[in-house]
A and B are shown apart, each in its own frame.
Chain A
Amino acid sequence: MLYYNTKFKFALPEGAPENLGGGIIAASAMPSGQLVRRIRAGFRKNPYLQHRLFDPQLYLAGLDKLVAPGTVANLATQPWFGKHDVPVYDSETHGTMKAYKDAHEQALLDSWRRTAPTTDDEIGDAVRACVKYQLDLGCEGILLPAPLTTTAEDAYQTETRWLDIGSTICLELRVAVPVYATVAISDTVLRNVNPFKNALLSTITSQIAARAEIAGAYVVLEQTVDSGYACTARDVLAGLLVLADDLTRGAGKRVVVNYVGSFGVVMSAVGATIWTTGYYRSQRRLRFADHEEVMALAQPRFFSFRLAGDVGLHSDLATAFSAGLGKKLLLPTTPGSEHLYQALADGTYPASVPQWEHRSNNLTAASAHYLIANNKMAMTLDSLDENERIDVVRRWLGRAADIAAELKAMGMHPPTTDCEHQAVWLAALDDWLAGRS
């Protein structure tokens, strides 16, 4: 099931599917008080958020306030990042959000400790506040906060402490919705290790599996090395598949995965219940550098379902179309991409389809199309059994790798056109298939 990775804008792009499974709202999206106010305003305009989860994003506790002041100021409003005296935003008291930020942003930044709470008392206070907040937001499940796992050295002991304190507090608060352990993991701890022999992975799944009160895991991958949208590290990807399989097929738990873009399709084939994405880079991947305040205008790209990646609209798509790859890249069409296909066939691109013109911030059509294509795959997979899912996804990746090879042979390359990850995703799936018991 596909959920939207909800940031500041709750609204889906115009033309996006209305039957998305739900949304996961990021803590960094806005200050605490503003989020509560917007959630309480209801969901008439954003019905998908009736099924909502809230990501506390404690794994961002290491952000540097000097390079990411906007994100840090939003996160610092949440008590699980540390205590301070800054009041929660209230429109009647503070007026506009801008006025609130002008008055309190510096104090929020000053309170930023750049580390997660460490003592049992601090962790208890943080988790309690976080769970209560999610209950107030009416979330359909609780995502327990957890720090980012960047090393295998302490054998997941810190995260285990957060998990046990979290489940104790959920018991105290009589939480009646499913409780998920956050597994926020840096790709560095999964690289260059056979995923089936990765002791840390085994420890993580074992720790979650052994706790009957935990419904599953919310898995978040920090991408540190790849600069593109998609992860291209085979061990990392296979590691995520092992994680999902251990927890779902092995322990009968649920897995919710975020920040892996369309690799969520593969995770879903292996057993993940929910995967989350959105068109923008910050919705597809988690990378600390993406939170830096750099002014850059996004250019649209066309998400090719069959390629399992984006094609640049500046010239790559037209070039590929001329070379006879039009059907391979553009079919099946979505309501938003039919006109694009026709315009390329008629030679009237881009004049006849301004919504697909390569122009800064011209992203609505591309965003909606991206969600429709991914949601279609999500719904198809949801209707299949495990073996069929894996078979469908393996064939999808095999064809995508072939198309990517053709594009590469034509001189195309990331970041304009995604043609590097497909073969790696396929290899990772094959690694998992070969190693699973």
Chain B
Amino acid sequence: MPSSPFAVSDVVVTFSGRFNIISELRVGGQGVVYRATRLSTPAGDSANDDVALKLHTDPHEDIRAEREIKTMEGNRHPNLANLIEHGLAVVAGQPVRFAAWAFIEGVALDHQLVAGPITPKIACVIGRDVATAVDHLWTRDRIVHRDINPKNIMLRTGLREAVLIDLGAAKHLNQSPITAPLLTWGTMGYLSPEQFTAAQNLTSASDVFSLGLVIQECLLGRHPTGCDQMRLLGGGLRTASICPAVPVALANLVDQMLAVRPAFRPLPKVLAVEFATLATIL
């Protein structure tokens, strides 16, 4: 588990008057996220917004952070994290890029899964909402998220809506590549076969594969291969073989998402509709 490069007290000092730091939410390779209250806007007007304040602490990934921020500026979607403001700050003498995201009241999917499997109905809600977000990113900006996994999916309180967060690993097809050839990005155990083999020109089909694995994990209560990426090179495991009790229609849909050849996976737009239908009948 990585630890924050900053003492919370340093962060509190830096953002004093602008953000009231409440707690540290998560520390990752690219930065650290705090729960905070925004006290004022950049223009000086008073505010009272619950935010997730992310400090991008890795200077090597600054271009990636900047792209994520630019992409999400003015890009409002109910199934994506909404950017409230961003800027540059100095914490303990170190310059950092920060972004304040609307706080999502609820729980991260990885935390939810600690309690065990999720019902097929809720899994379909997650499938519906994340597929909708993937479709929005792809159709609007030709963006592939590349890191769909339970840590990057928030479930709003009541488990009736899911939100896809963290575009830090995203691939922007219309922009020059940042990732070097033969390298890949994402989380082991959730990569599509083509992503694992470092294909440069991914599509939303790669995100569909990752989402398929997440849905299997939801139904099973654990990762279907224990995050063994090598067992996914030929496509995903058949859902019926690992979760026999899952309704056939849902199992078939997830199996299609886990096809080894990207062209055989459903379009995210189609998936969203299918999951929505299943969510209403299950």
Contact = CB atoms under 8 A, between A and B. Distances in A.
Interface string B225-238: 00000000001000
B62 to A, nearest CB: 23
Interface string B259-282: 111111101010000000000000
A115 interface: no
B199 interface: yes
Nearest to B142: A164
A202 B138 contact: no
A396 interface: no
Given A202-B194, A251-B263, A437-B261, A210 B205 contact: yes
Given A155-B199, A164-B142, A164-B174, A210 B260 contact: no
B194 A437 contact: no
B200 A206 contact: no
Contacts of B194: 199, 202-203, 206
B201 A155 contact: yes
Given A206-B194, A210-B138, A212-B269, A437 B203 contact: no
Interface string B193-218: 01001011111110000000000000
A93 B233 CA distance: 64
A209 interface: yes
Interface residues of B, number: 24
Contacts, number: 67
Given A160-B173, A164-B142, A250 B199 contact: no
A207 interface: yes
Interface string A138-178: 00000000000000000111001100100000000000000
Interface in B245-268: 259-265, 267
B264 A202 contact: no
What is the interface of chain A mostly: helix, strand, loop, or mixed? helix
A207 B194 CA distance: 12
Contacts of B261: 202, 205, 246, 250, 437
A247 interface: yes
Contacts of A251: 263-264
B236 to A, nearest CB: 12
What is the interface of chain B mostly: helix, strand, loop, or mixed? loop
Interface in A233-252: 246-247, 249-251
Interface in A364-402: none
B174 A207 contact: no
A351 B245 CA distance: 77
A157 B262 contact: no
Given A202-B194, A437-B259, A437-B260, A207 B201 contact: yes
B202 to A, nearest CB: 8
Q: How large is the interface on A (under 10, 10 to 19, 20 to 34, 35 or more residues)?
A: 20 to 34
Interface in A242-267: 246-247, 249-251
B262 A206 contact: yes
A208 B263 CA distance: 8
Nearest to B262: A206
A251 to B, nearest CB: 5
B136 to A, nearest CB: 13
Given A202-B261, A206-B262, A210-B267, A157 B201 contact: yes
A156 B267 contact: no
A158 to B, nearest CB: 10
A202 B197 CA distance: 12
Contacts of B263: 202, 205-206, 208-209, 246-247, 250-251
A210 B199 contact: no
B195 to A, nearest CB: 11
Contacts of B174: 161, 164
Contacts of B201: 155-157, 160, 203, 207
Contacts of B138: 210
Interface in A195-239: 199, 202-203, 205-210, 212
Contacts of B260: 437
Contacts of A210: 138, 203-205, 262, 267
A209 B205 CA distance: 9
Most buried by A among B200, B203, B261, B265: B261
* The 3 A-B residue pairs with the shortest CB-CB distance in the complex, in nearest-first order: A155-B200, A206-B262, A210-B203
10 contacts: A164-B173, A202-B263, A203-B194, A208-B263, A210-B203, A210-B205, A246-B263, A249-B264, A437-B259, A437-B261
Given A155-B200, A210-B204, A246-B264, 12 more contacts: A164-B142, A199-B199, A203-B199, A205-B261, A206-B203, A209-B203, A209-B262, A210-B138, A212-B139, A246-B261, A250-B264, A437-B260
